[in-house]
Amino acid sequence: MLCLLALRYPKASNGVRIASVALAILQILAGMGAATNHNSGGIVPFGGASTVVVLLTQRSAIQWFGRPRTPGAPPQQSFA
């Protein structure tokens, strides 16, 4: 599900960012549950979801998802 949301990032609003963070938190909880059951397969999703939460809660990500958009205009890349 996170991969499908990531495909919408170029044209997405803040709601997609919030949904991604919420899904990543659920994945973290599932990974922690798997780790408590001595299942090593939960460590990789836990690490990936933790990275997603950290990156999407940074100020630069919040500003990028909240940027103004012109309808019909191609997305612009900003490296500032």
pLDDT tens-digit profile of 61-74? Answer: 999 888 887 666 66
**All residues at 6 or more sequence positions from 3 whose CB lies less than 8 Å from its CB, including other chains:** none
Q: What is the pLDDT of residues 6-41, one digit of tens each?
A: 888 888 888 899 999 999 999 999 888 887 887 777
**All residues at 6 or more sequence positions from 62 whose CB lies less than 8 Å from its CB, including other chains:** 14, 17
So what's the pLDDT on residue 79? 58
Q: Which two tokens stand for residue 2?
A: 């996170």
Contact 21, 62 (CB under 8 A): no
Contact 49, 31 (CB under 8 A): yes
Residue 41, CA distances (Å) to 30, 31, 34, 70 in order: 11, 8, 7, 43
So what's the pLDDT on residue 54? 96
Q: Give me the residue spans of the domains in the chain.
A: 13-65
